[in-house]
Amino acid sequence: MRDDHTPGGGTPDRRRRRPLRLFAAGIGVLALVGVLALGGYAFFLQRTVEGNIEREDLNAQDDSTVTISPDRFGSEQPEDSEADAEDPEGSVDLEGTVETEEESAAPIVGEDGQAIEVGESEFQAETPERPAEAGEAQNFLIIGSDSRDLSVERGRSDVIVLMHINDERDRVDLIHFPRDLFVPIAGTGGSSKINAAYSYGGAPLLVQTLQPLVDVPIDHVVVVNFQSFQAMTDAIGGVDVDVAESSPGFPEGVMHMDGATGLEFVRERYALSQGDISRGQRQQAFIQGIMTKALSRETLTNPARLASFVDAATTNLTVDADLQVGDMRDLGFQMRGVRGDDIHFETAPWTGIANHPVAGSIVVMADDQMADLSEHLRNDTMEDYTDPVSPRSGFGG
């Protein structure tokens, strides 16, 4: 097994850049939750939010058509060369002529284990029924894309998170789906890494791929490309983060971090016991620290700090065409009692990491445990959900 479970590995420079993109997208999760949770306190910020966010056709539900259009990169972003020169750490790496699996969409694999040639096609979207037991619980798909401009290219989905807001509006669950999770890809007749759905058909195809796994409708979709987490972290005076697994410079225990320190913390992978899985858990811990601080009385009673945080959190948000700021504000008002301890993090259940002969290094889904997760989402009982299956150690990076 490779010490880097990402197929192809990429060059050292590319490996250094990817953690920033991954964490930037993870912070986008915080951005949306923060806006929703703070909305009940910050009606005066509606104009700021409305001016910052952008809208695209991201969702795919019944009666809509999903287009499969393979796209390794999309078009080159405007002023790519200039942006790369100014920000080599956070930029999208498009230079060079050598193709790697990291740069291209993962292959779609048929039942016979062979790669399927996927061309342009269309199919009709399907949506699971909303169970009566779920009440008015809502589900948001949050995608972290490395694209700087969705109108030009879709980019790659480095982070995929399902956000479940319960019917009582007093609990938020953020379920992280590892990008290498091997699943059936809607409309293709085959399976691949879940982030391949985004590469082949953008957010609508990812919606149609994820919904059958969780068997609940996805109400809204948000795509984030957040590169200024340092400013957001520093806007609230830094955060306290629980370091569960030590690494050089970061002993176990609670540690106060500013934006620059946090960047170093979430970049680490090779010194951690489960590689990318452990790094994802670090990202979750950092987001938990920011949410705890952002939703504290210290922030909520400081208009200047609150305004600065919300402005930073919404600067790089693209939402589906049906999600209006007024809806976000109303949902935020309903969630006005939510605090950091009410936000819970889970990872989609998995059993291990395998080396697929066609798809490369994949995360193997725990089918029975995924069905259990689906049941709790459908019944809006995430407070009772536990995952005794997913590995807690091993598979180091």
User: Which tokens is 243 given?
Assistant: 């370091």
How many CB atoms sit inside 10 A of residue 69's CB? Answer: 16
Query: Average pLDDT, stretch 52-61?
Result: 88
By the 10 Å C-beta count (0-12 exposed, 13-18 middle, 19+ buried), 296 is classed as middle
394 with 274: CB under 8 angstroms? yes
Q: Are 75 and 152 in contact (CB under 8 A)?
A: yes
Count of other CB atoms within 10 angstroms of residue 321: 12
Residue 195 in contact with residue 160, Cβ under 8 Å?
A: yes
Per-residue pLDDT at 227: 56
- Measure the CA–CA gap between 270 and 278, rounded to whole angstroms: 10
Residue ranges of E strands in the chain? 54-56, 65-68, 108-109, 115-116, 121-124, 138-145, 157-165, 172-177, 182-185, 190-193, 220-224, 239-243, 253-257, 317-320, 343-347, 350-356, 360-365
pLDDT at 87: 38
Which amino acid makes up residue 160?
I
Q: What is the mean pLDDT of the chain?
A: 78
| More confident: 81 or 317 | 317
Share of the chain above pLDDT 90, in %: 40
How high is the pLDDT of residue 79?
A: 38
Local confidence band at 264 (pLDDT 50, 70, 90 cut-offs): confident
If pLDDT is split at 50, 70 and 90, which confidence band does 155 have? Answer: low
Burial of residue 201 (CB within 10 Å: 0-12, 13-18, 19+) is buried
Q: Minimal CA–CA distance to 285: which of 313, 266, 304, 310? A: 266
Identify the pLDDT of residue 32: 53
| Cα 223 from Cα 56, distance rounded (Å) | 9
pTM for the full predicted model: 0.78
Per-residue pLDDT tens for 165-201? 999 999 999 998 988 899 999 999 999 999 999 999 9
Which pLDDT belongs to residue 367? Answer: 97
pLDDT in tens, 129-144: 999 999 999 999 988 7
Provide the percentage of residues in the chain whose pLDDT is more than 70.
73
- For residue 6, pLDDT over 60 is answered with no
Distances (CA, A) of 359 to 10, 19, 107, 274: 16, 22, 6, 20
Cα 377 to Cα 177: distance, rounded to the nearest angstrom: 15
Mean pLDDT of 149-154: 50
The DSSP H or E segment spanning 24 is helix 12-39
Length of the chain: 397
Residue, of 105 and 43, whose pLDDT is higher: 105
Cβ atoms of residues 342 and 50 within 8 Å:
no
**Mean pLDDT score, 62-67:** 91
Q: Which domains does the chain have, with CATH numbers?
A: 12-384 (3.40.630.190)
- Is the pLDDT assigned to residue 23 strictly greater than 70? no
Neighbours of 367 (CB within 10 A): 12
Q: Answer whether 106's CB lies under 8 Å from 199's CB.
A: yes
More confident residue, 180 or 77: 180
